Structure 1
């Protein structure tokens, strides 16, 4: 397709202005590419804090400090000694290293650069397949918009990188497949290495393994269908003596295809075997089989997309454009790619966390078909004219406007990458500072999304009842106990293990004898439970702290008994009804006060401004 900027019929211009017009044309052409690239970079600079980031960094730091991989659950009092299948070890080591060496903003920059490397590889593959760079970059805007909600600092990032590497290797290994069934085996044998790294970085390796298996299986099926085997010759010399030349050629091709089938199958087996290259061996696979067989209605990313989700409409737009492009395209369609894309779209319709994998597949496979489809929609003379058809003044105005857009994009990206805010209206920044100020310790029940923040902020003095590691290191009964407290019946949408007993939101307050309870006030069920507990004749829990975001309750025996060493008098308890405006830079850890530091020397925080 001819670009709108590349006109074969330039208007007559004075000879002295030809060089200027050409320079302006080149500047506008490359400026447009840069503006589109910056537009793709913007979604990848998302600087929201993932609730599990604190834990990922902490676990990586723990491993580095101890010098060995923990085999049982850490930082918990409900799963001590319980096995821990941590399938994100490489990712957590990388996050810990990044935190210690470049800090939060540095990790945001690295995240954006990683994302843009993936996007550049998509554009590269698209141009190798004959796509106009402008169309490729415009399509990348759709792809990165769909990646944005999932592009946080979390182990999933490595899944996206490994998936991108896998798709590039498959594309380049089979780039001559349609013409002469040729395979570049050196590239294909890199796939088991990718899988071995992936299995130790994030559970998304299962999606990658499924894509590899489907792709190789599709190519094997093509070989089996294209040249059916007639069987080998019946004895030495039979091929030359009794087989016609055409039949001999067919048998030779059949033998070659059988060899390719065997090698492709061997690559697939090697990829499967690579999943056992992990610290847990077969135990990881047993855990996966159990974990994936259990529904997860409490986890948002495992739910189906619906119109209220921010990801829904971009996802629907992307798959609609992809579907129309494939239907309207005049290019040869690869049925293996289409089959895999349909399977992953189906999975994304069931679990929204798979939307990111749909975006990655569309990024590598759809651009050429989009260009072909657009060729039917554009008028025949749409490519004529272009920038050079404008007057010199209008050309310079267009170039200046484009440069202004690039400058604004660069400024916005720079400002976003410099800030990694922890929203005080979403996270218990002030409640954790209160705990640090009062040196509260012990066994803590914390809301699911805050637990790993609490670990990073208060460990080792505080251990948790449950956190975002979910069933990798917690028994099903503990998982269900927590969500009984957090969600209750949830209108019958819960799934619970067969040994968890009836729903009882108070069990978590007794299991393991917790000392403290930190609840998110957005959830009605825990607020109602704690309020009911406080209204009993002999309440076991007393309110120590409350603001608009969080409530902290303590055991009456420890914190409400004047004879107790941990007694917290009324004047040191806090109730602050003011809004929690603003944010603090990640990691937003509390300032810990030493035992001999005077109260007057403590930093004044919103947590100790208002008293009960």
Structure 2
């Protein structure tokens, strides 16, 4: 018995020791993939509108820079993101904007890693799906634009659903304040509304079947989910335009935009197609091979996320983030089935290589930053 306890204690020490360098490597990869920034042609407008709102301390109702729409009501559905950009730019210029974008992108990685830790998935085994998810989400985080807020808010939405599926009774109450903020940051909150609608609809179906359509048990089963989600839906009316914002977005989001590349369907052949199928294969196989149950509601959300990029390639990062978060609870069981029970290697054999790799990645990050500073 003493020998078994000693072996268990040694294993736990080795696990903790390897978690630190693995975490450093994950952080270095996050920084490397999120720090690169490209110019966005719309950034000047976002900054100008935000600076104007700050100067007047009000939200502009008419676009003063448009000749075509002069005099008509202007619904600026990204006004809060633009104000944030303007504030950050006023404090630190372009460098501060890049820093803000990088921090927001890192938040996405932190949300996924929190699920990895919460479900006891060994960090070193989760690096492949984690890095794949980050690489795909990098598509939307290369530029400073309001869409970066949607990545964070969408991650939190799927995180709340995943935690609710795991038994948490409070996670869904994160959604009302989240959507009240999100609706003023970016129109991508519609993606969150869609995910919640699908999940809630399937929860209703499952609950009705489970309680054999008896009204009282059905109500007791559903109200803990229906109440916070209903409040979250109502929270989207907390915006300067009230219902008008919904009308505007539903009208503009449903028209074809063949001239905009990111609104085109995902090209199946090519790098993006390979990343799409790689994510689908990895997360789908983990869910399929896991011994953990996968509910009808989660399955339906997963299916919708898989379809999204086939409608518009701009949804590929949301698909990668959402499917990875839904699959994380199944990674540990699937990895054990594929690779056997995880036995942490000796810390001295892992720590040094991982720290060296982290240092190399950090150096790769610092080089372009140094060059940028020398040119300025």
Aligned to 1:244: none
**Residue 167 of structure 1, aligned match among 137, 155, 158:** 158
Aligned to 2:24: 34
User: 2:200 touches 2:297 (CA, 8 Å); kept in 1?
Assistant: no
State the 1:60 CA deviation. Answer: 0.2
Task: Indicate whether 1:64 and 2:16 are aligned.
Answer: no
Aligned to 1:366: 327
Aligned to 2:360: 408
Q: What does residue range 189-200 of structure 1 map to in structure 2 within 5 Å?
A: 189-200=173-184
Assess, with a 3 A threshold, how the Cα gap between structure 1 residues 165 and 24 changes in structure 2: closer, same or farther.
closer
Aligned to 2:148: 157
Assess, with a 3 A threshold, how the Cα gap between structure 1 residues 61 and 376 changes in structure 2: closer, same or farther.
same
Deviations 1:38-84 (A, max 9, x none): 12332111211222111111110011112221111221222211221
C-alpha separation in 2, matches of 1:292 and 1:29: 44
Aligned to 1:202: 186
Task: Indicate whether 1:128 and 2:122 are aligned.
Answer: no
Structure 2 length-normalised TM: 0.87
Higher mean displacement: 400-409 or 96-105: 400-409
**Residue 204 of structure 2, aligned match among 220, 234, 246:** 220
User: What is the total number of aligned residue pairs between the two structures?
Assistant: 369
State the 1:417 CA deviation. Answer: 4.8
User: 1:37 touches 1:137 (CA, 8 Å); kept in 2?
Assistant: no
Aligned to 1:322: 283
Aligned to 1:110: 100
Query: Residue 53 of structure 2: SS of its match in structure 1?
Result: helix
Query: Residue 59 of structure 2: SS of its match in structure 1?
Result: coil
Q: What does residue range 164-313 of structure 1 map to in structure 2 within 5 Å?
A: 164-176=155-167, 184=169, 186-230=170-214, 255-262=216-223, 264-307=225-268, 310-313=271-274
Assess, with a 3 A threshold, how the Cα gap between structure 1 residues 74 and 316 changes in structure 2: closer, same or farther.
farther
Q: What does residue range 389-400 of structure 1 map to in structure 2 within 5 Å?
A: 399-400=351-352
User: 2:177 touches 2:235 (CA, 8 Å); kept in 1?
Assistant: yes
Assess, with a 3 A threshold, how the Cα gap between structure 1 residues 45 and 333 changes in structure 2: closer, same or farther.
same
C-alpha separation in 1, matches of 2:343 and 2:298: 35
User: 2:176 touches 2:231 (CA, 8 Å); kept in 1?
Assistant: yes
Aligned to 1:533: none
C-alpha separation in 2, matches of 1:371 and 1:261: 29
User: 1:87 touches 1:201 (CA, 8 Å); kept in 2?
Assistant: yes
Assess, with a 3 A threshold, how the Cα gap between structure 1 residues 89 and 385 changes in structure 2: closer, same or farther.
closer
C-alpha separation in 1, matches of 2:343 and 2:176: 49
State the 1:418 CA deviation. Answer: 5.7
C-alpha separation in 2, matches of 1:29 and 1:267: 36
User: 1:28 touches 1:399 (CA, 8 Å); kept in 2?
Assistant: yes
Deviations 1:534-585 (A, max 9, x none): xxxxxxxxxxxxxxxxxxxxxxxxxxxxxxxxxxxxxxxxxxxxxxxxx976
Assess, with a 3 A threshold, how the Cα gap between structure 1 residues 139 and 8 changes in structure 2: closer, same or farther.
farther
C-alpha separation in 2, matches of 1:135 and 1:263: 35
Larger Rg, first or second structure (1 or 2): 1
Q: Pairwise CA RMSD of aligned residues?
A: 3.1
State the 1:335 CA deviation. Answer: 2.5
Assess, with a 3 A threshold, how the Cα gap between structure 1 residues 407 and 264 changes in structure 2: closer, same or farther.
closer
The higher-RCO structure (CA 8 Å, 6+ apart) is 2
C-alpha separation in 2, matches of 1:191 and 1:26: 33
Aligned to 1:142: 132
C-alpha separation in 2, matches of 1:267 and 1:28: 39
**Residue 93 of structure 1, aligned match among 75, 83, 88:** 83
C-alpha separation in 2, matches of 1:384 and 1:192: 42
C-alpha separation in 2, matches of 1:341 and 1:384: 31
Q: What does residue range 488-567 of structure 1 map to in structure 2 within 5 Å?
A: none
C-alpha separation in 1, matches of 2:174 and 2:199: 15
Deviations 1:411-462 (A, max 9, x none): 22233456769xxxxxxxxxxxxxxxxxxxxxxxxxxxxxxxxxxxxxxxxx
C-alpha separation in 1, matches of 2:360 and 2:343: 30
C-alpha separation in 1, matches of 2:351 and 2:177: 47
Structure 1 length-normalised TM: 0.55
Deviations 1:485-520 (A, max 9, x none): xxxxxxxxxxxxxxxxxxxxxxxxxxxxxxxxxxxx
State the 1:101 CA deviation. Answer: 0.6
C-alpha separation in 1, matches of 2:352 and 2:175: 47
User: 1:105 touches 1:419 (CA, 8 Å); kept in 2?
Assistant: no
Query: Residue 294 of structure 1: SS of its match in structure 2?
Result: coil
Q: What does residue range 433-444 of structure 1 map to in structure 2 within 5 Å?
A: none
C-alpha separation in 1, matches of 2:130 and 2:174: 26
User: 2:136 touches 2:320 (CA, 8 Å); kept in 1?
Assistant: yes
User: 1:43 touches 1:148 (CA, 8 Å); kept in 2?
Assistant: yes
Task: Indicate whether 1:386 and 2:345 are aligned.
Answer: yes
User: 1:8 touches 1:384 (CA, 8 Å); kept in 2?
Assistant: no
User: 1:149 touches 1:311 (CA, 8 Å); kept in 2?
Assistant: no
State the 1:266 CA deviation. Answer: 3.8
C-alpha separation in 2, matches of 1:105 and 1:219: 45
C-alpha separation in 2, matches of 1:207 and 1:25: 38
The structure richer in helix per residue is: 2
Query: Residue 276 of structure 1: SS of its match in structure 2?
Result: coil
